[in-house]
Each structure stands twice: as structure tokens, then as C-alpha cells.
Structure 1
Amino acid sequence: MTVLIERAGCVGREDELGELASRLALTRASGSAAILALGGRGMGKTALLRGLADRAATPALKARAGAWEQGTPGAALRQLLGEDPPADPADAADALVARALVVAVGDEPGLIVLDDADLADAFSLQAIASALRRHRDSPFLVVLAATRSTAFLSEIAADAIRIEGLDASAIAELGALRGRVLHPAMAEVLTRHTAGNPRDAVALLDELAPSQWVRPETQLPAPSHVRDEVQAALAGCTPEGRALAEALAVLGEGASLGQAATLAGLADPLTAVDALAAAGLTETSRDHLPRWRTPLVGAAVLAAMGARRAADAHQRAAQIVDDEVGRVRHLVAATPMADADLADEVARLAQRRGDEGAWADAAALYRDASRLTVDPLDRDDRLIRSVDALVAAGDGTGAAALVPVIEGLRETPLRDAVLAYLAILRGRATEAEVRLKRAWDIVNADREPETAALIAQRHVLHSLAQCRGTELVTWADRAISLAGRDTAAGVEAAAIRGLGLAMSGRFEDAHDAYVLAAREVGHSAQTQRVTMGRGWLGVLADEPDESRSLLEGVTDPRVLGGSTRISLWALAWLARVQFLMGEGEAALHTVAAGRALAAESGIALITPLLEWTATETHLLNGSWEDAARAARAAEAGAQGYEIMRVPAMLARAHIAEARSDFRAVLRILEPLTHAPTGSALTEPAIWPWAETYAAALVAEGRLDEADAFLGPHETRAREEQHRSAQARLATARGRWHGARGDLVGVRETFDSALGLLEGLPLRYERARVTFAYGQALRRAGRRRDADALLSAARDQWDGMGARTFVDAAQRELRAGGVRAPRGRRGPVDLTPQEEAVAEMVASGLSNREVAAQLFVSPKTVQYHLTRIYSKLGVRGRTELAAMSAEPAVESSTGSSAEPTEES
């Protein structure tokens, strides 16, 4: 099977290759080193070594040990040297190093690789160990690949890297190399089935017919080499060991040892546990429960049992397991033909699990029911419901793989609603709109109230993604009326209805709605939906502490059998609230978890929300490239839905704002000024864009437009008594007063903003208001007051690790000049404002960018530049930049002293 892996190439090992290449390069300075690459059988260690050798500039000395040569001294060393090694280990070590360095190209380090090093003869390993000790300063790296570590290998190589299974994208690449283009869902199935083992994955790709790679519900077998190994191991096992193996294979993951012993008919299973471990089939945990060495072993054991014995065992297992889903699934596994009664029983259980919010269970059960159903119309209906449950569980990738199958079925309201549901999660607003309209047009609510309620509930999600609060509430009420509050559609509609009320500015009603929903849902998988909704509302309603607590509890879809989609929403809003509370590092960790879950599930709808927070956090940290990358990811994912487009716009706008490119800010956000009446885009509490747009208008000198624009937003925020929204808008209004020279207006407005934020743990918002207040006072000539505020803002930014804004506050403080030294400016007497302008112009900023950052006009910047050029005796920006590092200029900008009097 090694040949298969080598033909596939070194796929999915870029991190490991990078690590090894880095270790190789380090030997130039640090001298000889060794590293152990550990991985199970078939994990691609040989391909990794070959990939490293191919990348290295120097030809590698390569060898592969074999168990049959362990008793032959120097067998591995002979391969490395290409000749018989010296008899003395020290001489052999010297010969090995000489050989490695002789083939080296130029000053490149030498590379020695030994595959299957745990099977190598002792003499060869001794020679390698001696080479490392005797030639510590020589530039060469030894890479030992092994399935298991030994004391000797650990002594030779203190460092090790673990070769784990490949991820689904790498498995898909392997498939492409084998001529199999796998759907992402199928790649996930194959990855889970093989634990990412490339040898096993390649074997299955070669052995199975193309038709078996079409649908992700396909039950994959074990590859032939695993079946052969397991068959041989079972043949050598005791009868008790084989019986326990078969019981474990039938019961599947999660079975207890007691259940397995009962099914196997063993009074004392521990002897059988030892037998399976000795046969290499299982690994035993602390609780004595055997676990398969790889997931494929269980599949191979089932194959060895044969269909009849496996079916009989499943029939018995149905009487042993203690949960209803497990019991029914064992009955299904024991029933190869259509069975109408069992199909109906399974479908009823599927619906019940769906009503409880356990959608993953419901999806599997509906699929089982479809297979057992006799009537073709019912069979199609149950298959469609299985896909719907997959979408509800958040498995967008798995559901998308079945779209061609569903589209091939006759059109029904349910079919259109399910396809619309998937379109929503994939961010395809137009497709969802068309399919939902068609579904509602053809459904008969009197005859099919359940289906009509489901369609209405999908309209709820569609309205949420469109940020249409009033429309959302209307559809939610319709869904609840049709289905009842205690059904799956009713509960989900109620869980989102509160957000529709908030998007309409009805925050008190939204809180009341969630109190009622939480009381009705109790403690079940549906709790996740209501809790997430309450947490989301908390972000919008200035309740960050409660919001964080609620959202942290529902970010794992495995809790209570919840939904990946709900967990993704929770992660997106948890990251947002962490950012607002000044916890940037935590926010980035949460974003990373959300990105991984989005990639795994195929849900695109929520990605821009995650990337918006990532963009702003990176901006605070001064990580411009990361911020730009996150903003591009947000924009790439922003398709038709407002809940995708707005975060993408905000991410880009904040980058432009940080660069003082206010014309770009206005251009980016201008589409939001045309939001229709009733859209949540006009709600200042929902999307924080209006203050950014207004501040850009002020910075561009468009004061009348800024005044007219701010008025309606300020009125709305006051009417809703939303504190942070009022504070954000007051910041823009304070800048407006400052631009007009109205010092009284500046003080009143900014003091009001800070008062509104008093008691709220929104560190980010408070720092922004404080900084803007200081800027406005500095421009108004109140430098001492400005200094206090700017110093406070700098300290707040510093506490959040916001390097970008710490630097901005420092520039403002220097421009204010309150802390500037007296009589110690050096040979050139620049004023504090001139020092700030000189520093920024020398760094490459344009006059407009300097003006925006110092909150002055471009004409003022040009005036200061003219004086700076005259004082410094330079003729332009280029000479100023060249002079910026000279001691005379540095001395005029780099010292501090007691504050001076205000002028």
C-alpha cells in the first residue's frame, strides 16, 4: 500500500514539511540536530520524507529499515552510505557525516532520513547517535520516521512531530489525484471513516465504483487490506475475544462494556478485552472499554460476520440498548427490505426528535424511514425531510450533496421549502426568495398546516438575513399560528421572533418575548435556539455581560444535540461582544472557531459577521495585513443578504477610516443611506454604521449634510433610549460641533456620550468616545483638557492591546504640546503641531491623511509643512523623510517634560 501513497504525492503535509525544512535550515547556525516524525501505519510518513528530500537543495541520504534486517548490524547504514560501513560505530559515524556533507550543495546543510526507524538495527542507530554527538557543530539534520517511539529513538531525537490524519480538503485532493472528484460532504465522510489515513483513503478510492462516491449517506466498507488484517487477527483470537469484537462492531460507538458483554454472552469480558488488545484490534481506556485501533476495524469486523449474522446481532442489540433512537436504528440495520410498519415507526420518531431540536438524529431517522418505505410518494417525502433535518442541524455540506437528488423529485411545497432553506444558509438570497415564494404559492394551508408553518418559518430566517424586523415578526406569528408554539417550527419561529422585535426598535417587547420562549421551551435541544437568540439580543441591547454568558453556553453544537447553524450564530455574536468589551485576543480565538465550523458545515451566511470582528480586532492590534485579509474574506462571502453585506461594508469602511481615507468611507457606506423604511439598517442600535458615515462627512467638511444625516438617527436612538447608539452618534455630533468651532457644543455632547456609557462594560466604545473628545478639544485650543482625555484614551487602548490607536493617541498628545519639553528642542525649534506633522509626512502620509488624523484641514497641514521645510532647510517631502532619522529631528520629537501652560 505504500506505493499507493507515493503515487498520490505528499498531500496535505505543508505544515509538517515547513517545520522540517525550518529545522534543516537552522542547522546552519546551530549545528547538527535530529527530529522524530511519529505517525501510525499508512499516515504518509514515507511520502513526507520524500517530499522533504525533494524540497531540500542538497541530495538526501535515504534509507528504510525492515524488521527482517534488525539482526543485521549496519543494514540501514549501508543504505545511507551506499557501501559497507566501517566496523567501528565511531568510524561509521564519521563516514556518515562526511558522506552527508560531501553531497551538500554549496553551504547548504546535509540531510539524512531514515524511514521505519523503529525497525532499524541497533548498530545503525548507534552510528547515527554518535554522528550527532561527535559532530555537534556540523550542519546536518537527521529525520527519523517511526510508527512508535522507543527509548533509543527518543534519546537520539529529543524533538518529535506527530503525523496526524489528513483533513477533508487533503482527502479531496487525494481523490482528485485518483480521478475521483469528491463532493465536500463525501470528502468529510471518507475522512471520518478513515480517520484521515491517506493509505486507507487511497485504497477505498481505488477499490470502490464511482457510483458509491455520489451520496454522502453511502455506507463505506473497510479497504481490502484492512479486512485481510482484521480477518487474520480474528482468526488468531479466542472465541470470547471474537464475540466481544462482533458485539462492539454491531453496537457501534458509545456502547458500554456491559452492553457489549451482554450481546456477546460474556459473564467476564475482561479476558476478551485483553485478547482484542493483544491481537492489535483495540486500544483499552482507563474504564476498560475497548476502542478500535482505527474506525475501519469495526467496519471490517462487520464485514467478516456476514449479512445474516450481523442482522441477527442487530436484532438482539435492539433489545439491549437503552435509548429509543439506538433501538430503532438497530431494527433498521436488521431489516434489508422495505417494511411499511417499521418505516412509519421510524418516521414518527424522526418527527419527534425534530420537534425536540435533535436534528442530526432526525436526519438519520428520516433517511432510514425513506429506505424502508413502500409508497414512492411517502418515500420521497421522507428523503426530503431528511435533507431538511440535515440543514436544520447545520450540515449544509451534506445537504448540498443531496440537492441533485432532491431536485430530481417531483415538485412539492416541502421540496421547495427545503431547497430554499439550504439557499439561505449558503447566502443565496435570490434563489431563496424564488423558492420560498413558489412554496407559499402552491401550499394549501388548510390541508397541510404543518408544511405551511414550515414554509413560514423559513420566511422568518429569510427576513432575519434581510434585516427586515417587521416582516420577520409577521412570518413568525404566522408560523406559530399554523403549527402551535410547541412544535419545531413554532419554537424556532419564537426563538427568532424576539430578534425581529429588536430590529424594529421594540427592545422591551423583545425581552418579554424571550422570557416567554425560555419558559415554554424548557430544557431540550431547542433551548440552544432560544438561548442564542437571547444572547444576540443582549449584544444589541447593551447587555454584554449577560450576552457573553448566554452565548458561551451554546457555541458547541454537541450540547443537547443542538444545531451547527445556531452555534455559528453564537460564535459570531460572542466574538462581537468580546471585541466590544476590549477582549481582542479572546475575540480572535472565537472567530477562529467560527471559521472552522463554517468551513466544516458549508454554512456561508455567517462568515462576514465573523470577519467583520476579525478586521476590527486586527486594526486595533496594528495587524494591517491580517485586517485586509479578513475584510477580503468578508467581502468574498457577502452575497445577496444584508446580514452578509453590511458587516463586509463595515469591515472595509473601518480600514479606510483607520487610513484616514474618508472619501472611501463615504463611498463604501453610501448604499446604506438608501435602506428602505422598516429595514434594520436604519436602526442605529442594530448596525453601527451611521456614526462612521457622519464622522466621514465632517472630516470632508460637508457639515450641512452631516447635520441633516445625523438628525433622524439621533431621534431614533433617543426614542428607543439605546445608550451605546446615542453615545456613538453623539461622538459624530461632537466632531460636528468641533468643526464649527462650538466649544460648548463639543463639551456638552461628548460629556453626554461618556455619561451614556457610564456603567456599561463597553471598553472599545468608551475609548473611541474619549479619544474623539480629546481630538475635538485639542482642535478647539483646549490643550490641557485635551491632554487629560487623550492620555486616558491612550491608556484605555493600551489596556486592550490596541497598538494602532495607542500610536494615534501619542501623536495627538505630541500635537497638543502640553507635555512638550521647554528649551530642549534641539537645533531646530519646531512647535508640537509641526513635530506631529513632520513625523507623519516623513512616514509617507499625504496631506489629507495627516489632516484627518490630526483633525485639522489640509490647508493647515500645508501651512505647517511650509514652515517645517523653512526651519529644517529641506526642499520637500523626500528630503524630510531622509532627515527624519537624524538626531536633530529625533531630539525635537522624542523627549518629555512637565506640562506647559495652555496658550
Structure 2
Amino acid sequence: MIRGRRAEIEALTALLDAACAGTGGALVLRGEAGIGKSALLEQTAAAAGGRGFRVLGTAGVQAEVLIPYAGLDRLTRALALPTGPATQPYRLATALLEALGAAGDPVLVAVEDVQWLDEASWAALAFAARRLGADPIAIVLTARDGDDVSGRLAAAGLAERRLESLGPDDSAALLAAVAPGLSPVLAARVLEQAAGNPLGLVELGMAASRGGGAALLPARLPLSERLERTFAGLVAELPPITRGLLLVAALDDGDDFDELIGACARMTGAPVVADDIEPAVTTRLVRVDDQFRVRFRHPLLRSALRQAATVAQRRRAHAALAGTVADPERRVWHRAAAAAGADEALARELTETARRAQHRQAATIAVEAFERAARLSAEPGARGGRLLAAANAAAEQGDPATVVRLLAEVPEQWLSATDRAWHGLLREVFLGTGWSGGDRFASFVEAVETMCREGDTDMALESLLAICLRVYWTVPDPETAGRLLAAAESVGVPPGDPRLVAVLAQVAPVARGAFCLKQMRTLRTSGEANPRELFELGLGAGAIGAFSLGVSFHAAAQVELRAQGRIGLLAKSLVSHALQAAHLGDARTALGLAAEGEQLVAESGERNWLPTAWIVSGFAEALRGDVAAAHRHADQAEAVLMPGGRHPLLALVRQVRGTAALAAGRPGEAFRELRRVYDPADAGHHGHTRLMLLGFLAEAALGCGELDELRRLAGEMAPLGAGRSPALLAGLRFARAVLGDSAESFAEALAEDVEWPFERARLELAYGVWLRRQRRAAECRPLLRAAADTFDALGATAWADRARAELRASGETLRRPAEAAQGLTPQELQIARLAADGLSNKDIADRLFLSPRTVTTHLSRIYPKLGIRSRGELSRALRTA
């Protein structure tokens, strides 16, 4: 019987109604233990079954919290979805959505005890729940209150409803129903101690009926502990062998009955048979289903059993389970729980478990495994390194409280040179000690040099990869930069190793730019790099301004990263890809990638990349001519970068504001903003970013008359062209054309191989303007028309409008094409483009981590916005949009 939950029942009914109507949704019921979450979930499941829903369920189990996909096991088995330690949560989420929606009938997924779901199961479920839209799926989850749960739910962004205590009338009615005949005095004591908690009313009411007032003492215990004591009292009445079975079941990370019997026999040294569980079944403490799986009546029973057992008893139970379970991953956790002292061999096994968990992005499991490995470590150095690895995994997960706690446990004297440098960098980020720039690079260099001397090639390369992006943005002093470069080149791998090329491009983008460019062109066609290496090459290509190469590397990496569900790396790849697309003037592509990248950055915990995602969106909005949106994004990023001391990235903020000023027709303001990137005394100065902005700076200088300053700056930049940076060479080409101020200088620039359409269109626009002002209208028009067409195709609307304005001034009118795609959201535009490329709805769903039904619904909304009726018309509509 459920009392006092009318609002919650109405919300759950509305969720089922929406699922029946084809609009999926999710709701989390949260509250203290015993507040009635399970009862509401059970009633909702019964109501859904009565309405023709397919009802599926699963639950988190405290003992399984470190086993990947333990929480989803029942669900994935019911849907015949294979899972294993290597399965990526985000790929499984897509498969779940597809499997749940395959039949077309409404589905209810009931998930109990979210607080005890393993991280992989939670990541998959939360990801799927956020993508319900056009799916007839309702997901209802229950979660017990707690800070860890609050953090988990806040990051997930799912709708919540908190269950409060019952009021006096509802409490009295429930107590009268479960414990009729209590004296007024006993009833009043139960009502006082239960304090509106439904489970407390039921359990304490029944205890009072059996044992009178003595059963309610001591009243000073908090409710959860009081209920655990109640359960413990029930267990104490059972035969010893049954109690042993229940303890093993409480500590097990599985629920197989035969496994429990085998482990209990090993623990007690006595024969155990199936009938030994019957006393617990009879008292309704557990049930054994048709598949011979053991289920506890309430999660508090597990807690009570764990709490009541001594340390020695728990260790014996874990040791027995370690000797019984077949799965190596489960076995190592039980061995660790049973260990009584240092065990370096076991610590190494747990460290490998942690690394595998990191690879599949199960960060919570990685943190726990590294930390347990540290506790088992015999040597301080190994212990410190593993605690630092746990802190690093927590940082990847976006768990600052755990990072701070672990960093405090690690004395620097325990650490190697490389680990000390990492320790310092983590302290900067999470303890607010300030941006140290390249202060810690010397420690990294020494460590890498040692690794090279000892022949540890892979570790040396991995260490360099870990810091090379930081090196690029910091621009260390010449001596440190030289040592970093020498260390990288002494690693001892072939010159075409993709990892080495990516490192060199970021450590020495000018000095080794030409070499890296040559190697990258070879690697792009060889197909030898793996997805992570392709991502690193994409970063490296961006560092030397080879944006076309960078875009192709990132696009290739994303295909595999999506297939593998490696969402953390995918998120960073999308943001970097978007930035390079914006540098190529492709505003439409940049906006779509940045929007998805920002979403996945937040979901994957890679929040240090959020300001970059905002900056990229601002850059693309500036190209499109939405100056207000560009400034909002720039302000948003600056508000995070300035307090954190991340000043080098302010160069990108200047870039956004400068581009926005150009779009708004304010070249003087644009020149002042962009000029700051070239000024070593300015907080927004960055030596490498200035290579990428010379074309925009020259355009601004042309508009405001700052040609002398442009000539000086171009002269400073010209020697750096030896690095063969395509971005710098394009900027120098445009600057020479502008500074030449002649038909010959423009014609010469256009005669060169201008690789990027935006740069060619910018030259055509500038040359067309020059010709018009020379009163050579007939000659300027073809150039202005071509420029406008290119800018329109790229979505660089502000530049296209300027080309059309110049064309009108020459006496010819060119109508602005209908912006059919303007009304599409970034995700709709992404789906439309993929559909136009010939991908099926399922292929699109797999790529974007959606269900096929959701893709179908998006397309049904896209067609009217584009003024078309079928998929076959998409390509034409997008070409003219």
C-alpha cells in the first residue's frame, strides 16, 4: 500500500503516458533509505505491465560496484546484448536504445539503487536516458540520498523527484494497516521514531507488535542504523550455515546460487546444500528466482550483514569467493579485499586492471583499482605512483574532491621526476596554486632523457605525448624547448612514427614544421595510425597550421572513436576539428562539431576543454555574422581562463573578438584586438597562434589603414615561413598582395596554389574591391561573384554579404541565397548532412549515439524546415542553403 505519494504517482503516470505517445523520458526517484522509492517503482512497473509495456529491470548492488556492467547484466541479457570489460559505455547506450525501441511497443526500464551501479553501467544508462526523445521508452531510477549520488545525478542532468517523509495522517494510516492493534503509547513511539519513513513505520511497527517497547530501543540511533539493526536482528535468528550463506551473498559481486554455495562451503569448511537457504527464504529476507539467482528483500539487509560481520569474517568470505569465482576480473577484486598486508604481485595485477578500466573510460573503477593497488604496495615509490595515477584518473572523471584527497596523501619525495611534475600540474588545476606554465618541464625532460638512456621507448613517447599540448600553449624558454626537442628526437623510433610526428609538431612547430608536414602527408595516405594516433596527429597538424590535414586526421579518428565509444577522446577531437574547420572558414561544419563536442566534453568530464569549445563556437558565429553570439562565447571563455591563469588561451579569445569586429565592419577594432596576440607584453600574446592569424590581421589592416604596422609584422613573421606552415604561408601571401597594392600583386597571389577555398575567396574579394576602386567594374565582378559563392558555401555569411555589397557598388546585384538551413539546430544540420551523404538512419544513429527512431523523428522535422519532402532532396537543399 502506498500512502501520501499522489504527486509522485501522477508524475510517473505522465511519464508512461508520454512513452505511449512516442516521447521517451527518464525520472529519478531519490530520497533516504526506506522512504518508498522501491514501492513506487514496483507500482509503476505493475501499472506499465497492465498497459502493455514491456517491463525490464535491473539494480545496483553494493558488492558489484567495481565490476564493469554488473548493474546492467540482467538488462543486457534480456536484450541479448553482449557486454564485457572492453565494451564502451557510450556504444552500449546506443545499442540499448536500438534494442529497446526495436519492437515499437512501449518499454519501461526500472533501475533500482543507482548509488550502487558500477560506473560503466551508470555511464551507459545516463547517456541513453539523455537521448530519449522519439523513443517509446520510459526509464525510472531510484537513488538513495548522499553526496556521491548528488554529484552523479548533477553531472547526468536527469529529471529528479525527491521523496520526502510522510505527513502525520499518512504515517498513522500506514502504521494502522501494517501493525493493527498497537496500543496508543506504542503507536506514538513508532510514529516518533520512524519520523515519516515508510520502511521505518513497517519494520518498527512489526517489531513493536512482536516485542513490545523494548524492540524500539535505543531511540538515539539514526533511522538507517536502526533499520540495519532490525535486519541484523532478523538474521541473528537464522541457523549459522544460513547466516554464512547470506554474508557471502552480501559480499559477492554476483548472484549465482551455486557460486554462493561453493564459496560458503569453502569459507566454513563444512558441507552446504541448497536447502540451507530456505530459512532466509521463509522469513522473506531473500528470494531465489527461476534462474537460481539470489535477491535480497531490501538493500539495507546487505548493509546490515556487512556491518555486523567482523573484519576477519569479511576477509574469509572474500577469500572464499576469490577461490570460487571463475572470472579473473572479479577474482582479483575479492583477492584484494581479502588481503591482510602488502602484496606487490597483487598490486601489479590491480594496476593492470586500473589501466584496462581507463582504456574503456571506466574512470571510477580505475580510481578504486589504483588506490587499492597503492594500499597493497610494498615500496613508497610504487605506492606514491599508484596514488598519483588514481588522482589522475579521478581528474579525467571530473571528480575534484577525490583528486584533492589523493594528492594530500602523496609526499613528493615518494615520486619519480615525471610523477613529481604531474603532481605539481594536478595541484595547479585542483588546488588553485596557479598556472606554472613551463616551470615543471625540466623535470619531464630529465625523466624522458632517463627513459631514453634506459631504452624505455614507449614510456618516453607516452610522457612526451602527455605534455606536448601543454608545451605548445606555454612556448617554453629556448633552452628547455631545445632539450625537449632533443629528447623527442633521441627516443629511437622511426622518423615516421605517428606519435613522434605529433610530439615534434607541438614541441617545435616552426623548427620541425616542414619535416612534420611531409611525414603527415605520408601518414594520411598510409592508413597505419590507430584512432588515438590519428587524434594526436590532428592536434599536431593544427599546431603547425596544416588545417586541411588536421581536419582529415580528426575525421578519420572520429569514425573509429565513435565505433569504439571512446567518448572522452572523441569529445576533444570534435573540439579540435571544429577549431580547424573554423580556421578554414567553414562556419557550418565548425558550429555542428563544436555543439556536439561541447556536449560530449561535459558528459565525459573533460571540462578543461569547455572554454575551447566556447571559443570555437564564437569563432564560427563571428564568421557567420552573429556578432552578439560571438561576444557571448568569448566572454564566457575569458571568465574561466583569466581566474585560472590560463593566459595563452586568451589569444583565441582575441581571435574571436577580432573576427567579430571584422564581421561587423569595424576593421580598426579588429586590428587592435588581433594585434594584441603579436605583442609579447600582452596577456593574450601567444607565439604560435600569431602564425594562424596573419590573414585576418592583414584584412583588418587593409580596412583601417594600418599598412605600415602590417608591413613590420609581416616582416617579422616571414622568416618563420621556413617551417612551411600552410596557415602562415597563406597569411603572408595575402599580406604581400595587400601591401603590393597593385593588380600584379593580387594576380601573383591568386596564381599560386591557394589550397583553402576561404583564403582564395578572401584574395578574390580584396582584389575585386581594389579593382572596383580603380573603376575597373567589369574586371572586378567575376572575382566578387566567385568570392560570394565560396563564402556562401562555407557559411561565412558576413564575408559573403560584403562581397555582395561590393558587387552592388560595381553595378551588379547578386541575391543572397535562401538560408534554408539557417533554421536547423546544429544537431539537425549534422543529421541532414549525414543523410545527404547516403548514411542510413541506423548508421547515423550509431555515429551520433542516438536511436534510429530519434534520427527518423529529426529527419521528419528537418524536411519541412528545408522545404523538401524526401531524403533524395537533401543534397540539393543543403547545397543551396
Normalised by the length of structure 2, the TM-score is 0.54
Aligned to 1:216: none
Is residue 2:458 matched to residue 1:463? no
Aligned to 1:590: 593
Aligned to 2:99: none
Task: Pick from 650, 653, 657 the counterpart of residue 652 of structure 1.
Answer: 657
Contact 2:623 2:663 in 1 (8 A): no
Is residue 2:555 matched to residue 1:549? yes
- Give the 3-state SS of the residue equivalent to 2:412 in structure 1: coil
Task: Pick from 666, 670, 674 the counterpart of residue 661 of structure 1.
Answer: 666
Contact 1:244 1:261 in 2 (8 A): no
Contact 2:617 2:633 in 1 (8 A): yes
In the TM superposition, what is the alpha-carbon distance from 1:649 to its structure 2 partner? Answer: 1.4
Letter in 2 for 1:499: Q
Letter in 1 for 2:537: R
Aligned-partner Cα distance in 2 for 1:290–1:593: 41
CA RMSD of aligned residues (A): 6.7
Structure 1 residues 631 and 159: alpha-carbon distance in aligned structure 2, compared to 1, 3 A threshold: closer
Aligned-partner Cα distance in 1 for 2:6–2:262: 45
Aligned-partner Cα distance in 2 for 1:281–1:633: 54
Q: Which residues in structure 2 correspond to 1:265-284 (within 5 Å)?
A: none
Structure 1 residues 681 and 554: alpha-carbon distance in aligned structure 2, compared to 1, 3 A threshold: farther
Letter in 2 for 1:657: L
Letter in 1 for 2:662: E
In the TM superposition, what is the alpha-carbon distance from 1:369 to its structure 2 partner? Answer: 1.4
Q: Which 10-residue stretch deviates more, 417-426 or 699-708?
A: 417-426
Letter in 1 for 2:436: A
Letter in 2 for 1:638: L
Structure 1 residues 588 and 383: alpha-carbon distance in aligned structure 2, compared to 1, 3 A threshold: same
Structure 1 residues 202 and 670: alpha-carbon distance in aligned structure 2, compared to 1, 3 A threshold: farther
- Give the 3-state SS of the residue equivalent to 1:432 in structure 2: coil
- Give the 3-state SS of the residue equivalent to 1:781 in structure 2: coil
Aligned-partner Cα distance in 2 for 1:687–1:7: 60
Contact 2:315 2:337 in 1 (8 A): yes
Contact 2:448 2:463 in 1 (8 A): no
Aligned-partner Cα distance in 2 for 1:643–1:479: 23
Structure 1 residues 806 and 386: alpha-carbon distance in aligned structure 2, compared to 1, 3 A threshold: same
Contact 1:662 1:699 in 2 (8 A): yes
After superposition, give the CA deviation of every residue in 1:480-507 in whole Å (9 maximum; x if it has no partner): 86x9879xxx997775334324343523
Task: Pick from 694, 699, 706 the counterpart of residue 702 of structure 1.
Answer: 706
Letter in 1 for 2:473: A
Structure 1 residues 400 and 468: alpha-carbon distance in aligned structure 2, compared to 1, 3 A threshold: farther
Aligned-partner Cα distance in 2 for 1:713–1:370: 51
Aligned to 2:634: 631
In the TM superposition, what is the alpha-carbon distance from 1:654 to its structure 2 partner? Answer: 0.7
Contact 1:794 1:810 in 2 (8 A): yes
Aligned-partner Cα distance in 2 for 1:670–1:809: 25
Aligned-partner Cα distance in 1 for 2:108–2:226: 18
Aligned to 1:726: 729
Structure 1 residues 457 and 229: alpha-carbon distance in aligned structure 2, compared to 1, 3 A threshold: farther
- Give the 3-state SS of the residue equivalent to 1:543 in structure 2: helix
Structure 1 residues 798 and 251: alpha-carbon distance in aligned structure 2, compared to 1, 3 A threshold: same
Structure 1 residues 290 and 778: alpha-carbon distance in aligned structure 2, compared to 1, 3 A threshold: farther
- Give the 3-state SS of the residue equivalent to 2:670 in structure 1: helix
In the TM superposition, what is the alpha-carbon distance from 1:651 to its structure 2 partner? Answer: 0.9
Aligned to 1:788: 782
Aligned to 1:199: 162
In the TM superposition, what is the alpha-carbon distance from 1:655 to its structure 2 partner? Answer: 1.0
Aligned-partner Cα distance in 2 for 1:505–1:616: 28
Aligned to 2:744: 744
Is residue 2:801 matched to residue 1:804? no
In the TM superposition, what is the alpha-carbon distance from 1:400 to its structure 2 partner? Answer: 5.6
Is residue 2:750 matched to residue 1:756? no
Aligned-partner Cα distance in 2 for 1:373–1:701: 67
Letter in 1 for 2:659: H
Q: Which residues in structure 2 correspond to 1:48-447 (within 5 Å)?
A: 187-189=150-152, 197-199=160-162, 250-251=252-253, 315=319, 318=322, 324-335=328-339, 337-341=340-344, 343-346=346-349, 349=352, 360=363, 363-373=367-377, 379-391=383-395, 394-395=396-397, 397-399=398-400, 401-407=402-408, 409-412=410-413, 413-414=415-416, 416-422=420-426, 430-433=434-437, 436=440
Letter in 1 for 2:785: S
Aligned to 1:504: 511
Letter in 2 for 1:497: L
Counting aligned pairs with the same residue, the percent is 19
Aligned-partner Cα distance in 2 for 1:259–1:774: 81
After superposition, give the CA deviation of every residue in 1:94-138 in whole Å (9 maximum; x if it has no partner): xxxxxxxxxxxxxxxxxxxxxxxxxxxxxxxxxxxxxxxxxxxxx
In the TM superposition, what is the alpha-carbon distance from 1:629 to its structure 2 partner? Answer: 1.6
After superposition, give the CA deviation of every residue in 1:455-490 in whole Å (9 maximum; x if it has no partner): 877664532231459755632653786x9879xxx9
Contact 1:359 1:390 in 2 (8 A): no
Aligned-partner Cα distance in 2 for 1:480–1:166: 53
Aligned-partner Cα distance in 2 for 1:352–1:572: 25
Aligned-partner Cα distance in 1 for 2:783–2:226: 72
How many pairs were matched up?
625
Letter in 2 for 1:789: L
Task: Pick from 474, 477, 483 the counterpart of residue 474 of structure 1.
Answer: 483
Structure 1 residues 535 and 262: alpha-carbon distance in aligned structure 2, compared to 1, 3 A threshold: farther
After superposition, give the CA deviation of every residue in 1:495-520 in whole Å (9 maximum; x if it has no partner): 5334324343523246549989999x
In the TM superposition, what is the alpha-carbon distance from 1:816 to its structure 2 partner? Answer: 1.3
Aligned-partner Cα distance in 2 for 1:635–1:316: 56
Task: Pick from 691, 697, 714 the counterpart of residue 695 of structure 2.
Answer: 691
Structure 1 residues 37 and 305: alpha-carbon distance in aligned structure 2, compared to 1, 3 A threshold: same
Structure 1 residues 700 and 387: alpha-carbon distance in aligned structure 2, compared to 1, 3 A threshold: same
In the TM superposition, what is the alpha-carbon distance from 1:578 to its structure 2 partner? Answer: 3.7
Structure 1 residues 230 and 695: alpha-carbon distance in aligned structure 2, compared to 1, 3 A threshold: farther
Contact 2:391 2:402 in 1 (8 A): no
Aligned-partner Cα distance in 2 for 1:795–1:229: 77
Aligned-partner Cα distance in 2 for 1:281–1:779: 89
In the TM superposition, what is the alpha-carbon distance from 1:581 to its structure 2 partner? Answer: 5.8
Unaligned runs of 5+ in 2: 32-39, 47-106, 111-132, 167-195, 198-222, 236-244, 266-280, 816-881
Letter in 2 for 1:784: A
In the TM superposition, what is the alpha-carbon distance from 1:379 to its structure 2 partner? Answer: 4.3
Unaligned runs of 5+ in 1: 24-33, 45-63, 71-145, 150-157, 208-221, 235-242, 266-274, 822-903
Letter in 1 for 2:389: R
- Give the 3-state SS of the residue equivalent to 2:436 in structure 1: helix
Aligned-partner Cα distance in 1 for 2:740–2:625: 30
Letter in 2 for 1:663: G
Letter in 2 for 1:403: V
Task: Pick from 745, 761, 767 the counterpart of residue 761 of structure 2.
Answer: 767
Letter in 1 for 2:347: D
- Give the 3-state SS of the residue equivalent to 1:502 in structure 2: coil
